[in-house]
């Protein structure tokens, strides 16, 4: 396994991070245990979850992923071996999320309730990296759209207030470090400015979508990630499975997320299928597994801290982790760049 520093913390985290959002929905507790056991054996020390998981969000399964991880910590005695990341949800109509039937916001009371719930389910006294899952302010999902869409300004908890609450968690020892997710360049810099001005805890990472068909992170956030040491935790590096090629030509494999939930429209926008076909064909030309080529591309970006992989089978997990040993040659990098130039960011 390879390792990168997490922001300015000095902490080494594995380049491959185990994503767990399928635990409690597509994966049973037993299967989740098997995935976590294998990941740890392969040198992965970084796991990511959220209060919202499993996915898709449902009242019946909310928090189940954290509960499964907590049971694994208890059964295996592995808490000290894992850098654990979780997330607090931003505004959402899921009034069931925190059990009070109220609209979700990032105010002090609700963030405190969310953290205490996560700690209880995870059976731990602290979370290593606590992230804001998405912003309080209204904005286009994904944070880096290819076309700007103005949004009405609603009353929200200010960035300063959010930082003050998170800083309090750090000072109380319940959180070691903090991070962002689904955030824009403007938002990231505002958080950093507030921390620097007020001497409060600083964002150490940003978890955004990033893949061969969504490289919008590069347009502004990549420079911030490198110069400010707020590295990318890339999610959906396989475009939720599309870059494996399994959905090509209208295929719908039984048991796949698309077949089960029909919620992958982010990767079905005009032109996405053409780009995906081109990347899959390129991998095959080079004798590579399309999934491993797509993951290796993400693994090797200079602004990356970790690549969050997820799997529903052990075979998928082994393929994904094996991508750490795949090299993106200079020639292959150029070929990928040529496809990107022709089919730029079709799935932001």
> Which residues are designated catalytic?
53
Yes or no: say if 305 and 231 are a contact pair by the CB < 8 Å rule. yes
Dihedral angle, C-alpha 118, 130, 200, 97, nearest 10 °: -50
CA distance 68 to 282: 38
Nearest to 341 by CA among 265, 278, 254, 290: 278
CA distance 131 to 50: 9
Nearest to 238 by CA among 286, 198, 290: 290
Over its C-alpha atoms, the chain yields an Rg (Å, rounded) of 19
Nearest to 239 by CA among 132, 86, 87, 346: 346
Beta bridge partners of 180: 132, 206
Q: Cis (ω within 30 of 0) for the bond into 220?
A: no
User: How far from chain centre, in Å, is Cα 300?
Assistant: 17
Length of the chain: 348
β-pairing verdict for 83-88 and 203-209: unpaired
CA distance 248 to 298: 21
């Amino acid at each position: 396994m390879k390792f990168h520093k997490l922001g300015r913390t000095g902490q080494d985290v594995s380049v491959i991070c185990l994503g767990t959002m399928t635990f409690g929905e597509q994966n049973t507790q037993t299967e989740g245990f098997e995935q976590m056991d294998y990941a740890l054996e392969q040198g992965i020390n970084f796991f990511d979850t959220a209060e919202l998981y499993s996915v898709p969000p449902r009242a019946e399964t909310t928090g189940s992923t954290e509960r499964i991880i907590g049971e694994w910590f208890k059964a295996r005695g592995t808490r000290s071996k894992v850098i654990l990341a979780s997330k607090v949800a931003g505004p959402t109509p899921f009034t069931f999320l925190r059990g009070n039937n109220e609209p979700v916001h990032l105010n002090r009371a609700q963030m405190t309730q969310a953290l205490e719930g996560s700690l209880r389910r995870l059976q731990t006294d602290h979370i290593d990296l606590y992230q804001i899952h998405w912003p309080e302010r209204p904005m286009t999902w994904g944070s880096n759209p290819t076309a700007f869409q103005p949004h009405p300004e609603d009353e929200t908890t200010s960035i300063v207030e959010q930082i003050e609450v998170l800083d309090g968690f750090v000072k109380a020892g319940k959180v070691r470090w903090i991070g962002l997710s689904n955030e824009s360049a403007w938002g990231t810099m505002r958080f950093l400015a507030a921390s620097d001005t007020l001497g409060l805890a600083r964002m150490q990472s940003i978890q955004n979508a990033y893949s061969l068909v969504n490289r919008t992170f590069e347009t502004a956030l990549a420079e911030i990630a490198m110069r400010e040491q707020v590295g990318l935790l890339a999610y959906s590096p396989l475009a939720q499975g599309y870059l494996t090629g399994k959905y090509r030509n209208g295929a719908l494999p039984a048991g796949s997320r698309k077949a089960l939930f029909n919620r992958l429209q982010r990767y079905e926008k005009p032109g996405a299928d053409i780009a995906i076909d081109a990347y899959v064909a390129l991998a095959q030309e080079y004798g590579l597994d399309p999934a491993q080529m797509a993951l290796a591309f993400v693994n090797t970006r200079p602004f990356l801290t970790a690549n969050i992989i997820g799997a529903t089978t052990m075979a998928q997990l082994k393929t994904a982790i094996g991508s750490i040993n795949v090299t993106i040659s200079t020639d292959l990098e150029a070929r990928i760049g040529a496809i990107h130039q022709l089919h730029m960011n079709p799935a932001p």
